[in-house]
Amino acid sequence: MSNYRQLSSAERFTIARLLAAGQSYRQIAAALDRQPSTIAREVRRNSGAQVGYRPDYAQQLTAARRWSGARLERDADLRASVLERLAAGWSPEQIAGRLAYEAGVPVISHETIYRFVYAQLKRTNDRRWRFYLPRAKYKRGWRTKGGWPRPAGRCSIHERPPAIATRNQPGHWEADTMLFSQTGQAILIVHERHTRLTMALRHDSLQAEPVATALIALLAPVPKPLRRSITFDNGTEFNRHYRIASQLGLDTFFCDPHAPWQKGGVENAIGRLRKSLPRKTNLDSLPGDSLNAILARHNNTPRKCLGFRTPAEAFIPLHFKCESTPGSRPG
């Protein structure tokens, strides 16, 4: 039995000519010394709905199916959509998930997007392509675990109720400060574990009393059912945690020393915000509404853990539900 060989351009022209002359698949197969099934498959796969079987069109379809490059290199519309969302700070996984969420069927995998970006890095030798990736890194880092004793009067993260760890219950927050190269510049960040909503406030003082005042002001407008607990690291700026707990009516917990990754939600949020607010940023040079715009973009980016809804889409209904319930407003 001879090995199958692809039809040539000349054979496709002969098929088109003989079809136009009214010959059957068997007659065309005999003329080309091919199997009738080969002719039938060729006509079925490479005919256009409007143009019928044309040799040049058939050749183009065959070449497209045999394309070995990345899908994003041959689908201009999909490539433009993906690059636009990458430029807006979405991760490949968020893009793939949101496209599937919108279309109702899988459109592209996040691994395909990663391979496309890394292929451009290698092909073009343009290091700027890495800035399309969530952290703009070439390699992923590893976390280390600390073990220094915790100051007295702080409740360990290991004593948190299991409901907090599962993220199934709203109202549990994490807090941290985002620091910059310019001395005395900082942003106070709070992150809700269930909906992944992030709020922030520029607050350059890292003294405990002003930080407590700022945190209270940031969280006080949130309905009381959405203020259950807050988790900190062991920075001295959170030494007035008991005042925060008293005035907001929530529980406070602390990570192990030198293990800030235990409050991974806010750490992840800060990592994502770094793309728009790198450490070298001078906050004094930012326009007045820049921080709010960055937060809005962050909170309106879909998340896999939310079924590719956005944090805003997850949090706002909870907020309105609490606001409409008697006695849910903070005192």
pLDDT in tens, 53-86: 888 888 777 766 665 556 787 788 888 899 888 8
pLDDT in tens, 73-131: 778 888 889 988 888 888 888 999 999 998 888 888 888 888 888 887 777 777 777 77
In a domain, 145, yes or no: no
Are both 120 and 15 inside the same structural domain?
no
Q: Give residue 4's pLDDT.
A: 63
Nearest to 42 by CA among 14, 3, 75, 2: 14
Q: Give residue 142's pLDDT.
A: 47
Are both 56 and 84 inside the same structural domain?
no
Are both 104 and 206 inside the same structural domain?
no
Are both 164 and 216 inside the same structural domain?
yes
Phi–psi pair at 201, nearest 5 degrees: -150, 130
Q: Give residue 295's pLDDT.
A: 94
Are both 196 and 274 inside the same structural domain?
yes
Are both 311 and 212 inside the same structural domain?
yes
Q: Give residue 250's pLDDT.
A: 92
In a domain, 138, yes or no: no
Q: Give residue 320's pLDDT.
A: 79
Q: Tell me the pTM.
A: 0.60
Are both 25 and 107 inside the same structural domain?
no
pLDDT in tens, 155-177: 889 889 888 989 999 999 999 99
Q: At a CB cut-off of 8 Å and minimum separation 6, what does 270 contact?
A: 176, 178, 189
Q: Work out the mean pLDDT of the chain and round it to a whole number.
A: 84
Q: At a CB cut-off of 8 Å and minimum separation 6, what does 146 contact?
A: 256, 257, 258, 259
CA angle 269, 270, 274 (to 5 degrees): 120
Once rounded to an integer, what is the mean pLDDT over residues 125-142?
Answer: 65
Are both 260 and 188 inside the same structural domain?
yes
Domain count, the chain: 3
In a domain, 200, yes or no: yes
| pLDDT at residue 322 tops 80 | no
Position 277: which residue type?
Answer: L
Are both 290 and 191 inside the same structural domain?
yes
Are both 47 and 102 inside the same structural domain?
no
Query: Which residues span the domain enclosing 222?
Result: 157-323
Are both 175 and 271 inside the same structural domain?
yes
Bridge partners of 191, per DSSP, are 174, 198
Q: Give residue 62's pLDDT.
A: 75
In a domain, 3, yes or no: no
Are both 268 and 309 inside the same structural domain?
yes
79, 99, 132 — which closes off a domain? 132
pLDDT in tens, 281-319: 999 998 878 999 999 999 999 999 999 999 999 998 888
pLDDT in tens, 178-207: 999 888 899 999 999 999 999 999 988 888
